[in-house]
Amino acid sequence: MKLSSYVIKRLLYSIFVLLGLSIVIFIIARVVPGDPARLALGPRAPQFAVDALREEMHLDKSLPVQYFYWIKGVATGDLGKSLITKRNVVEDIAEFLPATLELVLVSALFVIVFSIFFGALAARYKDTWVDSFIRVMAYTGVAVPSFVLAVIFLLLFGYIWPIIPVLGRLSAGIQPPPTITGLITIDSLLTGQLDVFFDALKHLILPALALAVGPLFQEARIVRSAMTENMGKDYLAAAVGFGMPDHVITGKYLLKPSLIPAVSVMGLDIASLMSNAFLVEVIFNWPGISRYGMEAMLRKDLNAISAVIIVFGLIFVLVNILVDLIVAYLDPRIRLGGRSS
Protein backbone atom coordinates (compact mmCIF):
# COMPACT_ATOMS: atom_id res chain seq x y z
CA MET A 1 0.00 0.00 0.00
CA LYS A 2 0.93 3.59 -0.40
CA LEU A 3 0.62 4.23 3.32
CA SER A 4 3.74 2.25 4.18
CA SER A 5 5.90 4.01 1.62
CA TYR A 6 4.51 7.26 2.93
CA VAL A 7 5.61 6.31 6.44
CA ILE A 8 9.07 5.29 5.32
CA LYS A 9 9.54 8.52 3.41
CA ARG A 10 8.38 10.46 6.42
CA LEU A 11 10.76 8.61 8.76
CA LEU A 12 13.78 9.06 6.51
CA TYR A 13 13.06 12.73 6.23
CA SER A 14 12.76 13.01 10.01
CA ILE A 15 16.18 11.46 10.44
CA PHE A 16 17.57 14.06 8.09
CA VAL A 17 15.85 16.84 10.02
CA LEU A 18 17.20 15.52 13.32
CA LEU A 19 20.73 15.44 11.89
CA GLY A 20 20.30 19.04 10.81
CA LEU A 21 19.00 19.90 14.23
CA SER A 22 22.07 18.32 15.81
CA ILE A 23 24.25 20.75 13.85
CA VAL A 24 22.19 23.67 15.10
CA ILE A 25 22.48 22.41 18.67
CA PHE A 26 26.20 21.84 18.24
CA ILE A 27 26.58 25.43 17.13
CA ILE A 28 24.49 26.71 20.03
CA ALA A 29 26.18 24.61 22.69
CA ARG A 30 29.77 24.44 21.45
CA VAL A 31 30.50 27.32 19.12
CA VAL A 32 28.46 30.28 20.34
CA PRO A 33 29.49 30.26 24.02
CA GLY A 34 33.18 30.67 23.17
CA ASP A 35 35.11 28.30 25.39
CA PRO A 36 32.92 25.53 26.80
CA ALA A 37 35.80 24.16 28.84
CA ARG A 38 36.30 27.43 30.64
CA LEU A 39 32.57 27.66 31.19
CA ALA A 40 32.48 24.17 32.61
CA LEU A 41 35.31 24.76 35.05
CA GLY A 42 34.49 28.30 36.05
CA PRO A 43 36.59 31.47 35.87
CA ARG A 44 38.92 30.54 38.73
CA ALA A 45 40.13 27.20 37.40
CA PRO A 46 43.85 27.10 36.48
CA GLN A 47 44.70 27.32 32.79
CA PHE A 48 46.29 23.84 32.62
CA ALA A 49 43.09 22.22 33.86
CA VAL A 50 41.10 24.09 31.22
CA ASP A 51 43.58 22.99 28.56
CA ALA A 52 43.31 19.39 29.71
CA LEU A 53 39.56 19.52 29.50
CA ARG A 54 39.76 21.17 26.09
CA GLU A 55 41.79 18.24 24.88
CA GLU A 56 39.41 15.77 26.48
CA MET A 57 36.44 17.46 24.82
CA HIS A 58 38.36 17.60 21.50
CA LEU A 59 38.03 21.38 21.52
CA ASP A 60 41.56 21.72 20.16
CA LYS A 61 40.48 20.10 16.89
CA SER A 62 38.79 21.75 13.93
CA LEU A 63 35.03 22.32 14.11
CA PRO A 64 33.98 19.47 11.77
CA VAL A 65 36.11 17.05 13.75
CA GLN A 66 34.60 18.37 16.98
CA TYR A 67 31.16 17.86 15.57
CA PHE A 68 32.08 14.34 14.53
CA TYR A 69 33.21 13.43 18.07
CA TRP A 70 30.17 15.11 19.56
CA ILE A 71 27.61 13.44 17.30
CA LYS A 72 29.35 10.09 17.86
CA GLY A 73 28.78 10.63 21.56
CA VAL A 74 25.15 11.57 20.99
CA ALA A 75 24.58 8.47 18.89
CA THR A 76 26.09 6.18 21.50
CA GLY A 77 24.19 7.85 24.31
CA ASP A 78 27.15 9.70 25.72
CA LEU A 79 26.11 13.29 26.12
CA GLY A 80 28.74 14.20 28.65
CA LYS A 81 28.38 15.13 32.29
CA SER A 82 26.05 17.67 33.75
CA LEU A 83 27.58 20.53 35.69
CA ILE A 84 24.69 20.65 38.11
CA THR A 85 24.16 17.03 39.02
CA LYS A 86 27.72 15.88 38.21
CA ARG A 87 26.13 12.83 36.65
CA ASN A 88 25.96 11.60 33.11
CA VAL A 89 23.33 13.70 31.36
CA VAL A 90 21.60 10.59 30.04
CA GLU A 91 20.94 9.43 33.59
CA ASP A 92 19.43 12.80 34.43
CA ILE A 93 17.16 12.63 31.44
CA ALA A 94 16.02 9.14 32.32
CA GLU A 95 15.15 10.42 35.76
CA PHE A 96 13.39 13.66 34.80
CA LEU A 97 11.78 12.88 31.45
CA PRO A 98 8.86 10.72 32.72
CA ALA A 99 7.47 13.52 34.90
CA THR A 100 7.37 15.87 31.93
CA LEU A 101 5.93 13.20 29.66
CA GLU A 102 3.19 12.55 32.17
CA LEU A 103 2.37 16.24 32.38
CA VAL A 104 2.41 16.84 28.64
CA LEU A 105 0.41 13.69 27.94
CA VAL A 106 -2.29 14.64 30.42
CA SER A 107 -2.54 18.15 29.05
CA ALA A 108 -2.59 16.82 25.48
CA LEU A 109 -5.43 14.56 26.57
CA PHE A 110 -7.25 17.61 27.95
CA VAL A 111 -6.73 19.42 24.68
CA ILE A 112 -7.96 16.56 22.52
CA VAL A 113 -10.98 15.55 24.55
CA PHE A 114 -12.24 19.00 25.49
CA SER A 115 -11.53 20.66 22.17
CA ILE A 116 -13.71 18.14 20.39
CA PHE A 117 -16.33 18.39 23.11
CA PHE A 118 -16.46 22.19 23.19
CA GLY A 119 -16.10 22.46 19.43
CA ALA A 120 -19.03 20.16 18.83
CA LEU A 121 -21.01 21.99 21.51
CA ALA A 122 -20.32 25.38 19.92
CA ALA A 123 -21.30 24.05 16.50
CA ARG A 124 -24.44 22.44 17.84
CA TYR A 125 -25.49 25.59 19.70
CA LYS A 126 -24.17 28.01 17.11
CA ASP A 127 -24.91 31.68 17.76
CA THR A 128 -26.15 31.03 21.30
CA TRP A 129 -24.49 31.94 24.57
CA VAL A 130 -22.63 28.60 24.55
CA ASP A 131 -20.96 29.56 21.29
CA SER A 132 -20.14 33.04 22.57
CA PHE A 133 -18.72 31.66 25.78
CA ILE A 134 -16.37 29.37 23.89
CA ARG A 135 -15.34 32.22 21.63
CA VAL A 136 -14.53 34.41 24.63
CA MET A 137 -12.57 31.54 26.15
CA ALA A 138 -10.62 31.19 22.91
CA TYR A 139 -9.65 34.84 23.03
CA THR A 140 -8.72 34.51 26.68
CA GLY A 141 -6.68 31.43 25.91
CA VAL A 142 -4.76 33.37 23.29
CA ALA A 143 -4.23 36.37 25.51
CA VAL A 144 -3.24 34.69 28.76
CA PRO A 145 0.05 32.82 28.31
CA SER A 146 0.32 29.61 30.25
CA PHE A 147 2.97 30.91 32.63
CA VAL A 148 0.65 33.74 33.62
CA LEU A 149 -2.18 31.27 34.03
CA ALA A 150 0.09 29.10 36.14
CA VAL A 151 0.94 32.02 38.40
CA ILE A 152 -2.72 32.91 38.76
CA PHE A 153 -3.56 29.28 39.61
CA LEU A 154 -0.81 29.34 42.18
CA LEU A 155 -2.21 32.51 43.74
CA LEU A 156 -5.78 31.21 43.65
CA PHE A 157 -5.36 27.63 44.74
CA GLY A 158 -2.12 27.91 46.63
CA TYR A 159 -3.14 30.75 48.93
CA ILE A 160 -6.70 31.96 48.58
CA TRP A 161 -8.61 28.74 48.11
CA PRO A 162 -6.37 25.78 48.82
CA ILE A 163 -8.58 22.92 47.68
CA ILE A 164 -6.12 21.35 45.34
CA PRO A 165 -2.37 20.82 45.65
CA VAL A 166 -0.19 23.21 43.68
CA LEU A 167 3.37 21.97 44.09
CA GLY A 168 5.20 18.82 43.06
CA ARG A 169 3.96 15.47 41.83
CA LEU A 170 2.87 13.91 45.13
CA SER A 171 1.85 15.04 48.61
CA ALA A 172 4.50 14.96 51.32
CA GLY A 173 3.43 11.82 53.17
CA ILE A 174 2.91 9.65 50.11
CA GLN A 175 5.50 7.19 48.90
CA PRO A 176 5.96 7.14 45.12
CA PRO A 177 5.20 3.76 43.57
CA PRO A 178 8.06 1.61 42.28
CA THR A 179 9.28 2.93 38.95
CA ILE A 180 7.96 0.90 36.05
CA THR A 181 7.16 3.47 33.41
CA GLY A 182 8.09 6.50 35.47
CA LEU A 183 4.61 7.91 35.08
CA ILE A 184 3.28 7.90 38.64
CA THR A 185 -0.36 7.63 37.62
CA ILE A 186 0.29 4.54 35.54
CA ASP A 187 2.77 2.96 37.95
CA SER A 188 0.38 3.38 40.86
CA LEU A 189 -2.41 1.79 38.89
CA LEU A 190 -0.16 -1.08 37.85
CA THR A 191 0.75 -1.71 41.47
CA GLY A 192 -2.82 -1.18 42.61
CA GLN A 193 -2.20 1.83 44.85
CA LEU A 194 -5.34 3.81 44.22
CA ASP A 195 -4.65 6.47 46.87
CA VAL A 196 -1.33 7.28 45.20
CA PHE A 197 -3.04 7.40 41.83
CA PHE A 198 -5.60 9.95 42.96
CA ASP A 199 -3.00 12.01 44.75
CA ALA A 200 -0.86 12.11 41.61
CA LEU A 201 -3.89 13.00 39.53
CA LYS A 202 -4.75 15.91 41.81
CA HIS A 203 -1.24 17.24 41.47
CA LEU A 204 -1.47 16.96 37.70
CA ILE A 205 -4.65 18.94 37.23
CA LEU A 206 -3.43 22.50 37.68
CA PRO A 207 -0.18 22.36 35.70
CA ALA A 208 -1.88 20.38 32.95
CA LEU A 209 -4.72 22.89 32.81
CA ALA A 210 -2.32 25.82 32.73
CA LEU A 211 -0.71 24.25 29.69
CA ALA A 212 -3.89 23.09 28.00
CA VAL A 213 -6.29 26.03 28.24
CA GLY A 214 -4.71 28.09 25.45
CA PRO A 215 -4.53 25.44 22.72
CA LEU A 216 -7.74 23.80 23.92
CA PHE A 217 -10.13 26.58 23.07
CA GLN A 218 -8.38 27.48 19.87
CA GLU A 219 -8.71 23.88 18.74
CA ALA A 220 -12.35 24.00 19.76
CA ARG A 221 -12.83 26.97 17.46
CA ILE A 222 -11.25 25.05 14.60
CA VAL A 223 -13.49 22.06 15.25
CA ARG A 224 -16.48 24.36 15.43
CA SER A 225 -15.84 26.15 12.16
CA ALA A 226 -15.07 22.87 10.37
CA MET A 227 -18.29 21.39 11.69
CA THR A 228 -20.49 24.33 10.78
CA GLU A 229 -18.92 24.40 7.34
CA ASN A 230 -19.47 20.69 6.80
CA MET A 231 -23.03 20.89 8.08
CA GLY A 232 -23.93 22.70 4.87
CA LYS A 233 -22.40 20.02 2.67
CA ASP A 234 -24.57 17.93 0.38
CA TYR A 235 -23.30 14.67 1.78
CA LEU A 236 -24.69 15.57 5.16
CA ALA A 237 -28.03 16.57 3.71
CA ALA A 238 -27.96 13.23 1.89
CA ALA A 239 -27.32 11.32 5.10
CA VAL A 240 -30.21 13.15 6.77
CA GLY A 241 -32.37 12.49 3.74
CA PHE A 242 -31.65 8.78 3.98
CA GLY A 243 -33.08 8.87 7.47
CA MET A 244 -29.93 8.00 9.37
CA PRO A 245 -30.18 8.62 13.12
CA ASP A 246 -28.74 11.78 14.64
CA HIS A 247 -25.91 10.13 16.49
CA VAL A 248 -24.63 8.48 13.32
CA ILE A 249 -24.82 11.71 11.35
CA THR A 250 -23.13 13.87 13.98
CA GLY A 251 -20.81 11.33 15.54
CA LYS A 252 -19.69 9.73 12.31
CA TYR A 253 -20.41 11.54 9.07
CA LEU A 254 -19.93 15.04 10.45
CA LEU A 255 -17.25 14.44 13.04
CA LYS A 256 -14.63 12.63 10.99
CA PRO A 257 -14.21 15.16 8.20
CA SER A 258 -14.37 17.98 10.75
CA LEU A 259 -11.53 16.57 12.82
CA ILE A 260 -9.02 16.71 9.98
CA PRO A 261 -8.19 20.42 10.17
CA ALA A 262 -8.06 20.27 13.97
CA VAL A 263 -5.66 17.33 14.03
CA SER A 264 -3.45 18.93 11.39
CA VAL A 265 -2.55 21.77 13.71
CA MET A 266 -2.24 19.48 16.74
CA GLY A 267 1.52 19.23 16.12
CA LEU A 268 1.86 22.94 16.78
CA ASP A 269 -0.21 22.58 19.94
CA ILE A 270 2.07 19.88 21.24
CA ALA A 271 4.99 22.20 20.53
CA SER A 272 3.36 24.89 22.58
CA LEU A 273 2.64 22.42 25.40
CA MET A 274 6.25 21.27 25.44
CA SER A 275 7.84 24.70 25.36
CA ASN A 276 5.43 26.16 27.87
CA ALA A 277 6.19 23.22 30.13
CA PHE A 278 9.57 24.93 30.67
CA LEU A 279 7.95 27.80 32.51
CA VAL A 280 5.04 25.94 34.04
CA GLU A 281 7.23 23.24 35.58
CA VAL A 282 9.34 25.88 37.25
CA ILE A 283 6.26 27.56 38.70
CA PHE A 284 4.67 24.36 39.99
CA ASN A 285 7.96 22.93 41.13
CA TRP A 286 7.37 19.95 38.87
CA PRO A 287 10.44 17.73 38.90
CA GLY A 288 10.54 17.22 35.13
CA ILE A 289 13.07 17.57 32.38
CA SER A 290 11.89 21.08 31.61
CA ARG A 291 12.69 22.35 35.04
CA TYR A 292 16.00 20.55 34.79
CA GLY A 293 16.60 22.14 31.40
CA MET A 294 15.63 25.53 32.72
CA GLU A 295 18.16 25.26 35.54
CA ALA A 296 20.75 24.07 33.05
CA MET A 297 20.09 27.12 30.92
CA LEU A 298 20.33 29.55 33.79
CA ARG A 299 23.62 27.99 34.87
CA LYS A 300 25.00 27.49 31.38
CA ASP A 301 25.24 23.73 31.77
CA LEU A 302 25.94 23.18 28.06
CA ASN A 303 25.82 19.39 27.97
CA ALA A 304 22.51 19.35 29.75
CA ILE A 305 21.12 22.10 27.52
CA SER A 306 22.01 20.29 24.33
CA ALA A 307 20.68 17.00 25.68
CA VAL A 308 17.35 18.56 26.62
CA ILE A 309 16.97 20.18 23.20
CA ILE A 310 17.82 16.92 21.46
CA VAL A 311 15.23 15.06 23.50
CA PHE A 312 12.58 17.67 22.81
CA GLY A 313 13.46 17.80 19.13
CA LEU A 314 13.17 14.03 18.97
CA ILE A 315 9.80 14.00 20.74
CA PHE A 316 8.52 16.83 18.57
CA VAL A 317 9.58 15.06 15.37
CA LEU A 318 7.92 11.84 16.54
CA VAL A 319 4.73 13.69 17.50
CA ASN A 320 4.60 15.30 14.08
CA ILE A 321 4.97 11.94 12.38
CA LEU A 322 2.16 10.65 14.55
CA VAL A 323 -0.01 13.65 13.67
CA ASP A 324 0.67 13.14 9.97
CA LEU A 325 -0.26 9.48 10.28
CA ILE A 326 -3.51 10.29 12.06
CA VAL A 327 -4.37 12.87 9.42
CA ALA A 328 -3.56 10.34 6.70
CA TYR A 329 -5.74 7.80 8.48
CA LEU A 330 -8.62 10.26 8.74
CA ASP A 331 -8.31 11.65 5.25
CA PRO A 332 -8.12 9.10 2.43
CA ARG A 333 -7.47 11.93 -0.01
CA ILE A 334 -4.02 12.36 1.53
CA ARG A 335 -3.39 8.69 2.12
CA LEU A 336 -4.21 7.59 -1.39
CA GLY A 337 -2.95 10.71 -3.07
CA GLY A 338 -4.85 9.66 -6.16
CA ARG A 339 -7.43 11.54 -8.16
CA SER A 340 -8.69 14.49 -6.26
CA SER A 341 -12.28 15.41 -6.47
Site for other proteins in 289-308 (CB under 8 A): 294, 296-298, 300, 302, 305
200-229 residues in contact with other proteins (CB under 8 A) are 228
Q: How far apart are CA 152 and CA 156, in angstroms?
A: 6
Q: How far apart are CA 336 and CA 12, in angstroms?
A: 20
Q: Shortest Cβ distance from residue 96 to other proteins (Å)?
A: 15
Which residue's CB is nearer to other proteins, number 3 or number 180?
3
β-pair partners for 81: 88
Q: Shortest Cβ distance from residue 325 to other proteins (Å)?
A: 15
116-175 residues in contact with other proteins (CB under 8 A) are 139-140, 142-145, 147-148, 151-152, 154-155, 158-160
255-274 residues in contact with other proteins (CB under 8 A) are 256-257, 260, 271-272, 274
250 scored as a contact of other proteins (CB under 8 A): no
Which residue's CB is nearer to other proteins, number 55 or number 229?
229
Which of 67, 96, 153, 253 touches other proteins by CB under 8 A? 253
Listed ranges 24-32, 43-51, 87-95, 169-177: which one lies at the site for other proteins (CB under 8 A): 24-32
Q: Shortest Cβ distance from residue 192 to other proteins (Å)?
A: 36
Which of 263, 283, 289, 328 touches other proteins by CB under 8 A? 283
Rounded alpha-carbon distances, angstroms, from residue 107 to 61, 171, 192, 201: 45, 20, 24, 12
Which residue's CB is nearer to other proteins, number 174 or number 255?
255
What is the amino acid identity at position 216? L
Residue 24, CA atoms < 13 Å, CB-side half-sphere: 9
Which residue's CB is nearer to other proteins, number 184 or number 289?
289
Which residue's CB is nearer to other proteins, number 41 or number 271?
271
Rounded alpha-carbon distances, angstroms, from residue 337 to 145, 172, 289: 39, 55, 40
Q: What are the DSSP calls for 49-116, one per residue?
A: HHHHHHHHTTTTS-HHHHHHHHHHHHHTT---B-TTT-SBHHHHHHHHHHHHHHHHHHHHHHHHHHHH
Q: How many residues does the chain have?
A: 341
